[in-house]
Homo-oligomer: A and B are copies of this chain.
């Protein structure tokens, strides 16, 4: 037996008693079931209002077998990309009456599986952003998580919608832009080695190089943050490149800031590109050339897929790849002669 609460919250039974009807009738009224006589319905509504009745959604969830909540697992709530995904999911889900439970793995990827499972137990489904989780782990985990939607994974998982941006194409487009402006020595300021989205960029650049044998490309280890870009400045300058392809906007901004401190002119001496087009990219000095990934929309689309699965749609789109769009701004220019 559950706790004998001394002063329970108002429940459906209290309203039923107050209105002099059965609790089934109260339930009907609360759910807008019209098979209740108008006068009785009114009496029930009055009683509910008098008692300030708030339906208990846990009871409701148990009876209905659904929570109207989905979990979103992100590696880092501090990263604008994941904030944007979360925002997109949250808004789209809210329009359909669903709420979002957040699970932030704080970049501890060993936690992701646990968090995701935990989230799934409380929710009707989970949207998983786990860019660094090993493919094998993901495949093991997936069945227990279903309904599951994946974001930014290249791994196809059976019966699991997956949304991602074409980082490979985006970085090629940026490289092409630099080459068109006369740059022949490029450097890739890389993201985390194990990250799927970094691998896609690397692969894209490999393809690009095959088609542009005259271009030279180096790689400098970077990271995902301002600080990573800031710290990489020496290695970038040492590379002798005239064009820098940064892993993302954050890294590019850190680099821009360090270059400014060193008195290096951008794009006069060095052109720099970012990736993502975070809101701040248009406010840096100089403004940042980047490949825009409509990441909030990607979050919204993730909800569409989840919603389709929850509705039991027969043919949910499984693979979705969004094409980034190159945005030319002030941080790139012709190669110095």
A67 at the interface (CB under 8 A from B): yes
Q: Which chain B positions have C-beta within 8 A of A94? A: 103-104
Q: How close is A310's CB to chain B, nearest CB, in angstroms?
A: 14
Q: How far is the CA of A83 from the CA of B86 in the complex (A)?
A: 10
Interface string of A114-147 (1 = CB under 8 A from B): 0001111110000000000000000000001000
A31 at the interface (CB under 8 A from B): no
Interface string of A39-55 (1 = CB under 8 A from B): 00000000000001011
Number of interface residues of A (CB under 8 A): 51
CB within 8 Å of B: which A46-87 residues: 52, 54-59, 61-65, 67, 69, 77-78, 83, 86-87
Tally of this chain's copies: 2
Say what secondary structure dominates the interface of chain A.
helix
Q: How far is the CA of A67 from the CA of B284 in the complex (A)?
A: 44
Please tell me if the beta carbons of B90 and A83 are within 8 angstroms of each other in the complex: no
Q: Which chain B positions have C-beta within 8 A of A86? A: 77, 102
Q: How far is the CA of A253 from the CA of B64 in the complex (A)?
A: 49
Residue of B nearest to A229 (CB): B283
B-binding residues in A (CB < 8 A) = 2-3, 5, 52, 54-59, 61-65, 67, 69, 77-78, 83, 86-87, 90-91, 94, 99-104, 106, 117-122, 144, 226, 253-254, 256-257, 260, 279-280, 282-285
30 A-B pairs with C-beta separation under 8 A: A2-B64, A2-B65, A3-B64, A5-B65, A52-B144, A54-B121, A57-B121, A57-B122, A58-B67, A59-B62, A62-B62, A69-B122, A77-B87, A86-B102, A87-B104, A90-B102, A91-B104, A91-B106, A94-B103, A99-B101, A102-B102, A226-B279, A226-B283, A253-B283, A254-B283, A256-B283, A257-B283, A283-B284, A284-B285, A285-B285
